[in-house]
Chains A and B, each alone.
Chain A
Amino acid sequence: MSNIIEVEHLTKTFGDFVAVKDVSFSVEEGGIFAFLGPNGAGKSTTIKMLTTLLHPTSGTIRINGHDPVADSDLVRRSFGIVFQDPSLDEDLTALENLELHGALYSVPAATLTSRIDELLALVELADRRDDFVRDFSGGMKRRLEIARGLLHHPKVIFLDEPTLGLDPQTRNHLWSYVQKLNTDEGITVFFTTHYMEEAERVARRIAVIDHGTIVAQGTSEELKQQTGAPTLEDAFLALTGSAIRDEAGSSTDRMRRMHSMHSGGRR
């Protein structure tokens, strides 16, 4: 199996601050890969570089054989993403959100219709297709975003903390959709999470990043053996230390607080 994501010696500096330092890893096509790390470790920065939102300072990235800097559109067609914060248009219906995505990715009309039906059925939202997203719960929005991210048949799906704040039933369903797509269609899954039990259960390969560098890579078993820990969570704590990482409240955090004020605390 070839590697669908290849990262070599990736570095990103912001002025004097080195956010990502000489990071290298690869993700096999059809794999399920967990990218773990404490707050401020460089996870989001790395993902932004993979998803064409940031330019690396140095190093190379290849997604589906393309360079996100030189061939950003080709890379964008190769992946779908579900962001940590919902990025749906609340004033439109579920169906309209999906159609909008189809238009942005130039999905041919016939394919679009059947694909929409397929995906809405998969995430169990078929009966809500004409409802406004504003009326959806956090879990429903997440499910819709997964359907949307896969609409254009990407090779890779990026999931940034996909189950944050969701109830166990929804979490369970979410992973079952993702795993089904991985098995049936061979879609590569790249996700981040703070829920170590999920990473342990679902991921086939894991990389742990801390202070901008990869501190461990391998299967869940390998990481546990390496640290002599019984669970992935303990292995993670062994690798990254148990001190709390305080992050300065960023403008993103302020916005999130405002958002939860306005939408009643539900994501």
Chain B
Amino acid sequence: MLISNGMKAIYIMWLREVKRFIRSKSRIVGSLGQPILFLVALGYGLGPVFAKAGQGNYLEFIAPGIIGMSIIFSAIFNGMQVIWDRQFGFLKETMVAPVSRLAIMFGRTIGGATVASAQGVLVLAIAIAAGFRPVSWIGIAPALVIMLLIALLFSALGIAVASLLKDMQGFQLIMNFLVMPLFFLSGALFPLNNVPAALLMVARFDPLSYGVDALRYFLIGTHTFSLTLDVSVLIGVTAVLLALGSYFFSRIEV
């Protein structure tokens, strides 16, 4: 009885995130603006420079990184909604309902991850429209799995952080000092093979580096770390963040 209650709660929280996403056409379109800009400006702008340096097709190189970017921004933003929700939204209602907080948190995390992955898929489609060609179409299926993993990781991170903040003031700080560095230092925009040792060190601590690396492996066939390492790090960090997120979420005081 308790287990099925929990499963039902996870399902309805998941469904709610998906419904909200499908209904917000303007938000979807709006959130695609930045990835398109990056792809076009950097892909075609820096493309010739990159090619001249003997590194190949820059559009191809950054496409996995840009997909990663849209996923993490969407996932973190979704998680941060928890701050808002807990005062003005539906979250408060779930706090007094006879369901476990864990189930609410899981449903929310998985829902946010689904939505973020969907955004990633949209960006992939746009990249393909812009001229990106994956090295093999079969690679798309495992790439989707990696996208889901990245989405789950950052969704859990967003919720964990949001559970600790009391108002939206922290949001700016988090975006500028956590999310942006995670993106820019992850090798999403530049190859990690030849960077200074210090930068490589920082990138190694960034879970997104491994996510983007795995995406590159499946989409364009290149990689800096091994696939095993990539997947292990993604799964491991996600598990830790889910545990932390659950703990912080359960301690939210409404």
Cβ contacts A182-200/B at 8 Å (1 or 0 each): 0000000000000000000
Contact B166 A251 (CB under 8 A): yes
Q: Which of B16-30 contact A (CB under 8 A)?
A: 16, 19-20, 23-24
**B37 → chain A closest CB, angstroms:** 26
Query: How many angstroms from the CA of A3 to the CA of B93 in the assembled complex?
Result: 26
Q: A85-B87, A100-B16, A255-B168 are in contact. List 9 more A-B contacts (CB 8 A).
A: A86-B88, A88-B93, A103-B8, A104-B9, A104-B97, A254-B167, A255-B84, A255-B87, A258-B167
Q: Which of B63-117 contact A (CB under 8 A)?
A: 84, 87-99
Query: How many angstroms from the CA of A56 to the CA of B56 in the assembled complex?
Result: 65
Contact A255 B254 (CB under 8 A): no
Contact B97 A76 (CB under 8 A): yes
Contact A52 B96 (CB under 8 A): yes
Residue of B nearest to A132 (CB): B23
| Contact A104:B98 (CB < 8 A) given known A92-B16, A255-B168, A258-B168 | yes
Q: Does B5 contact A (CB under 8 A)?
A: yes
Query: How many angstroms from the CA of A105 to the CA of B89 in the assembled complex?
Result: 18
**B104 → chain A closest CB, angstroms:** 9
| Contact A53:B98 (CB < 8 A) given known A88-B90, A104-B12, A254-B167 | no
How many B residues, CB 8 Å from partner?
Answer: 29
Residue of A nearest to B23 (CB): A91
Cβ contacts A84-109/B at 8 Å (1 or 0 each): 01111111100010001101111000
Chain B residues with Cβ below 8 Å from A254 are 167, 169
Contact A76 B23 (CB under 8 A): no
Q: Does A11 contact B (CB under 8 A)?
A: no
Q: How many A-B residue pairs have CB under 8 A?
A: 80
- CB contact between A255 and one of B12, B16, B20, B88 (< 8 Å): that residue: B88
Cβ contacts B96-140/A at 8 Å (1 or 0 each): 111100000000000000000000000000000000000000000
**A144 → chain B closest CB, angstroms:** 12
Interface CB pairs A-B, < 8 A, 30 = A53-B96, A53-B254, A72-B98, A76-B97, A77-B98, A81-B96, A85-B92, A86-B88, A87-B88, A87-B89, A87-B92, A88-B89, A89-B90, A90-B89, A92-B16, A92-B19, A92-B20, A100-B12, A100-B16, A100-B90, A103-B9, A104-B97, A104-B98, A104-B99, A105-B97, A106-B5, A148-B93, A255-B84, A256-B87, A258-B168
Residue of A nearest to B2 (CB): A73
For the complex of A and B, the 10 pairs showing the least CB-CB separation, nearest first, are A73-B98, A251-B166, A104-B97, A87-B92, A76-B98, A89-B90, A251-B167, A91-B20, A87-B93, A255-B87
Cβ contacts A48-66/B at 8 Å (1 or 0 each): 1001111000000000000
Contact A85 B88 (CB under 8 A): yes
Chain B residues with Cβ below 8 Å from A251 are 166-167
Query: How many angstroms from the CA of A54 to the CA of B87 in the assembled complex?
Result: 16
Query: How many angstroms from the CA of A92 to the CA of B23 in the assembled complex?
Result: 9
Contact B92 A103 (CB under 8 A): no
Query: How many angstroms from the CA of A219 to the CA of B168 in the assembled complex?
Result: 43
How many A residues, CB 8 Å from partner?
Answer: 36
Chain B residues with Cβ below 8 Å from A105 are 97-98
Which B residues are closer than 8 A to A by beta carbons? Answer: 5, 8-9, 12, 16, 19-20, 23-24, 84, 87-99, 166-169, 253-254
Chain A residues with Cβ below 8 Å from B94 are 104
Query: How many angstroms from the CA of A92 to the CA of B90 in the assembled complex?
Result: 11
Residue of A nearest to B90 (CB): A89
Q: Which of A73, A92, A252, A255 has the most CB of B within 10 A?
A: A255
Residue of B nearest to A78 (CB): B98
Chain B residues with Cβ below 8 Å from A259 are 87-88
Chain B residues with Cβ below 8 Å from A51 are 96
Query: How many angstroms from the CA of A89 to the CA of B84 in the assembled complex?
Result: 12
Chain A residues with Cβ below 8 Å from B95 are 53
Chain B residues with Cβ below 8 Å from A136 are none
Contact B92 A91 (CB under 8 A): no
Residue of A nearest to B100 (CB): A73
